[in-house]
Amino acid sequence: MLSYGLVPAHYSNLRAFFRAGFIQQVFPFFSYMFLHGSFWHLLGNMWFLYIFGDNVEDILGHGRYLFFYLLCGLISGVVHIWLNIGADVPVIGASGATAGVMGAYFILYPRAQIKTLIPIIIIPFFMEIPAVIFLGIWLVLQFMNATHAYGAMVGIAWWAHVGGFFSGMVYIILFLLKRR
């Protein structure tokens, strides 16, 4: 995890930064997206990609979608490092890149209905919620968690989620403007 995860503290010490090789400094920006802490972590990211990713890929096409996904993951990693520069906890997972896909979906399909499980005590209740509400609530929760100190202590990259989401929104807007 220290070698292939993204560790903000590795980028805060200039002496250590220049002592490490180029590959040791750049490779983690990509490798961290393909590592996960548990089966459930991987399953959660894949579930959100399953729900939102295919529609975004239909708009972008296969090649652009891959570029978009990696770019959102890269930007989310930069945002995480920038806002947690001294943290020595490695971050792994595709959550930032997946959040970018969710940000693009937020722009492309705001009125789409997302079937959502809402547990009421012990009774599971399913309800369709507009994507703009579902993803808006998700984003607010990420931002609220990011602004609390405990997020950095448990190794969850809340700011990477927020950064990924906004990078996905910006990229898809730029793509749509260029396409016109």
Task: Tell me the per-residue pLDDT of 104-137, one tens digit each, with 9 for 90 and over.
Answer: 999 999 999 999 988 888 888 899 999 999 999 9
- Measured between alpha carbons, how far is 37 from 54 in angstroms, rounded to an integer? 25
Sorted by where each begins, the domain ranges of the chain are 8-179
Q: What is the DSSP string of 92-124?
A: -SSHHHHHHHHHHHHHH-TT-EEEEEEEETTEE
CATH code of domain 8-179:
1.20.1540.10
pTM for the whole structure:
0.90
Say if residue 1's pLDDT is above 90: no
Gap between the Cα atoms of 130 and 167, Å rounded: 21
- Answer for the pair 73, 140: CB distance below 8 angstroms, yes or no: no
For residues 83 and 32, give the distance between their C-alpha atoms in angstroms, rounded to a whole number. Answer: 17
**60 has pLDDT over 90:** yes
The answer, yes or no, to whether residue 151 has pLDDT greater than 80, is: no
Indicate if the pLDDT at residue 153 is higher than 60. no
- Separation between Cα atoms, residue 91 and residue 85, nearest integer Å: 12
pLDDT the model gives residue 3: 82
Share of the chain above pLDDT 70, in %: 95
Of the pLDDT bands very low, low, confident and very high (cuts 50, 70, 90), residue 164 is very high
CA-closest candidate to residue 80, choices 28, 125, 44: 28
